[in-house]
Amino acid sequence: MGIAGARTPLAARVEELLADGGPLPIVAAGDPVLRRPAEPFDGQLEPALLARFTEALRRTMRAAPGVGLAAVQVGVALRIAVVEDPAPVPEEVATARGRVPLPFRVLVNPVYEPAGGERAAFFEGCLSVPGWQAVVARPAAVRLTGADEHGRPLDEVFTGWPARIVQHETDHLDGTLYLDRAEPRSLASNQAMAERWTQPTPARAAAELGFDLP
């Protein structure tokens, strides 16, 4: 853990970000911070500063709005992310996508591995790639390990849409964007999504845009 009272460069960066008290600026694709593995959290932020930072991540995620936000997306190269999804979607969509409410939580040093061989493909977007969505095939269930913001161990299996969210955010901490895993032919603007691809699954998009689903 970090030495008590030490002011790390990352701590100074976080203090600077928190100074105005509002939602944090979100880094867009093209910034190198999104393409480098984040530094494992090992006490670089004192508990009070960590609590303020994760609260700011929560406010920023909600204001965007989004269902997850990684520290690297606000320019802080620490292996920390927040997730939350109230799942305000029609029942048909919720059933098709396995989208169930995901209460707010902080993920510290998360790592995931597939929990079974099934894969599911759906459109994803990203706050760091505004205006676009694409279909990503991912494991339908994953085992996530790590810790929470209090250092308590995390070892949990996520399924359905929550599994997709934790994979997306953990990928950010590895320097991976969802576009790296996406089907290129599925790339669609938000306008095209609203006009054409609002179905619960991407089956129609796959047929008309010419790509395969798992």
Query: From the CB of residue 22, how many other CB atoms can be counted at a distance below 10 Å?
Result: 11
The closest of 18, 25, 21 to 64, measured between CA atoms, is 25
Q: Does the pLDDT value for residue 6 go beyond 90? A: no
Strand-pair partners of 142 = 114, 158
pLDDT digits (tens, 9 = 90+) for 117-134: 999 999 999 999 999 999
Q: State pTM to two decimals.
A: 0.94
**pLDDT cut 70: percent of the chain above it:** 97
CATH number for region 9-209: 3.90.45.10
- 3-class SS of residue 100: coil
* 150 marked as binding residue: no
Which pLDDT value is given to residue 95? 97
In which residue are the tokens 């990928």 written?
Answer: 171
Does the pLDDT of residue 41 top 60, yes or no? yes
Based on the residue annotation, tell me whether 91 is a catalytic residue of this protein: no
141 known member of a binding site: no
CA 68 to chain centre: 4
Catalytic annotation, pick one of 39, 84, 169, 183:
169
pLDDT for 1 beyond 50: no
Q: What whole-number distance in Å separates Cα of residue 21 and Cα of residue 119?
A: 41
Q: Binding residue per annotation — 49? A: no
Cβ partners under 8 Å of residue 183, min gap 6: 121, 134, 135, 136, 137, 211, 212
